[in-house]
Structure 1
Amino acid sequence: MTTTTTTNTLPAAKHFTLQQLADGVYAAIVKEHMGAFSNGGFIDLGESVLVIDAFLTPQAALELRTLAEAITGNPVRHMVNTHWHGDHVRGNQVYADVSIIATEITKNLMAEHLPARIAAIKEQAPAQLQALQDQFDNATDDAQKQAFAAELTQFHEIASTFDTLKITVPNVTFENKMTLHGSRRSAELITLGGGHSPSDIFVYLPQDKIIFMGDLLFVRTHLAFWNANEREWIEVLEQIEQFDADRFVPGHGPLGTIEDVRANKQYLLDLHQLVETHIQNDGTEAGLADLNIPSAYEDWDFYSMFPGNIQKLFAQLKAQ
């Protein structure tokens, strides 16, 4: 088994921290509030490099591409979008000259939804900026000021892209599996359907026993259900448990193990049971506000996702 290292020989980055997982395999673990928002990574195939995901901003994507080519000495020839959500694809324009790979479903969802979503973000930006600035100005202690300052930093990172942002959809698609071969290793791009989104890709490196999971995995972080199918997500995780892998790069959170994959599956099962019991007890949608985060997940990040997650489950279960 290859150990994970973060060494002084790796260049410092503004938007993420690079962690070497194997010779030629690197995870880019996001730095909070710096404009990347989600994790990514890159893989040296031998003569070329595969990049996983394009972050929330083009400047974060450009930084990763630049470092990937400098560290490996090889050109980036492929970039894969694990799914269609903005924090994984809004840097795609940096890769317009290479193969941008996704499923056909992901490509279509990007083309259908991103223009309106980005237009709405731009329209709402002035009011959001003023609200954040007011919160910062009215903060009563140092901790609050630091939190709002961080939010302002991220906001400005995003807003700085508004005039130059170009929606760039994938130009290569596949249905079930696509393997990229190189002299150093092969990378298997696999979709087992939906889960976190209507179509999710993970990248499996059998030689290195590593899987880049995209948002199929959140490590010690509340999962995001807004576009998810909870049953399909569980089924996908159960299949991934059968892969010969011992290190997992999540879409959000620190590097994980198979235990984190199992913890995500249990989170899905536990929230399902929580909401199902609520419904069986004649609980209402308004009554969801009285449900507490299960104790096993009280210290997980992104706790603000919990109310939306149980609301989504409530709607799905009531519709059955």
Structure 2
Amino acid sequence: MQEIHRIGRHFWYMTPVSETDRPILGMVVGKSRTLMIDAGNSEAHAQLFIRELEKQGMPQPSFVALTHWHWDHIFGLSGLGDIVSISSALTKIEMEKLLPLSWSDEALAERVAAGTEIEFCATAIGHEFPNERNIEIVLPSLTFEGRLEIDLGGVTCVLQQVGGDHAADSVVVYVPQEKLLFLGDCMYQDIFSPPANYTVKRTLDLLDTLEAFEADTYVISHWKPISKEEFRREVSIMRHAARITEECQGRLEAMKQAYQQCAGRELEEDEEEILEYFANGYARGQAQN
């Protein structure tokens, strides 16, 4: 069951669902306007969030900002009526590519077989839309490049493009009054270029950008809000793995041994997984050169 939680004075969020790949949805509430973060993976998802906020006495969203183009963050946009939607220019370009697509089981299966869709997404779409599949791709009303600041009245939201391996169009939302950074999916691996992978340069560039924000809370879309200490641990693992990847030239067993020797203990599950993603990315890069 999804739950509504509040952080600080201005931020509300609804918890994710793994089976249907529903990400966290956020709302920043100012004195005069409100900003919803991501539109959800279906109209039902978006409308549930708004109904639950209404129970808390919160107003309708004035704007909705999209963190990137992936289906689970945009399919709910058609259920938000005339709410002004905002994305990066690159997100809109990627969404335009979805306009001619069919979302039937047959069409999804064909795209999975052709390698233009992945089984994980096709399965999750089937779970979220078990009956009617009346999916409408609605393009954002406004686009920006680089950085956009929105005054909601007593609270500010900064939308900034950060990129990364998961989606080149990734945008984060920073709420300075709460020292909160909504990360979306930007720290996740590339799942659309099998095998799933991280690349050293894009990862390090992303981490440099994220660490420049003065935040105490970091919201990861398919997980939970985490503390500064938890964020620093994630960053440390990724930086260490990136460095070892280059030192070991992507040789996974050598990477594991080097990491284990440096840590002075056995690898934890998440560390081993991250090393595998970096090894995959290194191999992919070598194959393309």
With 257-266 and 269-278 compared, the bigger mean Cα shift is at 269-278
Partner of 2:168: 198
Query: Which residue identity lines up with residue 282 of structure 2 in the other structure?
Result: L
Partner-residue secondary structure (3-state), 1:256: strand
Cα contact 1:188–1:203 (8 A) shared by 2 = yes
C-alpha distance in 2, partners of 1:275/1:114? Answer: 39
- What is the SS of the residue equivalent to 1:102? strand
Structure 2 Cα separation of the partners of residues 238 and 71 of structure 1? 37
Matched residue, 1:146: none
Is 1:188 equivalent to 2:174 in the alignment?
A: no
In the alignment, is the contact (CA less than 8 A) between 1:204 and 1:211 conserved in 2?
A: yes
| CA deviation after TM superposition for structure 1 residue 23, in Å | 1.9
SS at match of 1:261: helix
2:206 to 217, 236, 255: 236
Determine the structure 2 residue equivalent to 1:165: 135
Counting only pairs closer than 5 Å after superposition, residues 302-313 of structure 1 correspond to structure 2 as 310-313=279-282
Residues 1:19 and 2:22 are matched in the alignment = no
Equivalence for 1:226: 191
SS in structure 1 at match of 2:86: strand
Give SS of 1:197's match.
Answer: coil
Opposite residue 315 of structure 1, the aligned amino acid is: R
Whole-angstrom distance in 1 between the partners of 2:99 and 2:203: 23
The equivalences for 1:1-320 within 5 A come to 14=1, 16-33=2-19, 35-113=20-98, 115-116=100-101, 118=103, 122-124=107-109, 157-160=127-130, 162-217=132-187, 223-226=188-191, 230-273=200-243, 275-276=245-246, 279=249, 298-300=268-270, 310-320=279-289
Amino acid at match of 1:196: H
In the alignment, residue 61 of structure 1 is paired with which amino acid?
A: A
Structure 2 residue ranges without an equivalent (≥5)? 113-122, 193-197, 261-265
RMSD, aligned CA: 3.6
* Structure 1: stretches of 5+ with no match in the other structure: 1-13, 128-151, 218-222
Q: 1:194 to 1:71 in 2, by over 3 A?
A: same
* Cα 1:315–1:301 shift into 2, 3 Å: closer
In the TM superposition, residue 100 of structure 1 has moved relative to its aligned partner by: 1.2
TM-score of the two chains, using structure 2 as the length reference: 0.76
Q: Report the alpha carbon displacement of residue 239 of structure 1 after superposing the two structures with TM.
A: 2.5
The 10-residue stretch of structure 1 (165-174 or 187-196) with the greater mean CA deviation from structure 2: 187-196
Which string of whole-angstrom CA distances, capped at 9 and with x for unpartnered residues, describes residues 267-318 of structure 1? Answer: 43344455545647xx6xxxx6998697787344996x87566423321244
How far the C-alpha of 1:103 sits from its partner, in A, is: 0.4
Cα distance between partner residues in 2 of 1:319 and 1:46: 51
Matched residue pairs, number? Answer: 269
Residue in structure 1 matched with residue 119 of structure 2 by the alignment: none
Checking the alignment, whether the CA contact within 8 Å between 1:289 and 1:307 is kept in structure 2 is no
1:226 CA drift (Å): 3.0
Bigger shift: 264-273 or 184-193? 264-273
Normalising to structure 1: TM-score of the pair?
0.70
Q: Which amino acid aligns with 1:260?
A: E
The alpha-carbon distance between structure 1 residues 191 and 155, as it changes in their structure 2 partners (threshold 3 A), is closer
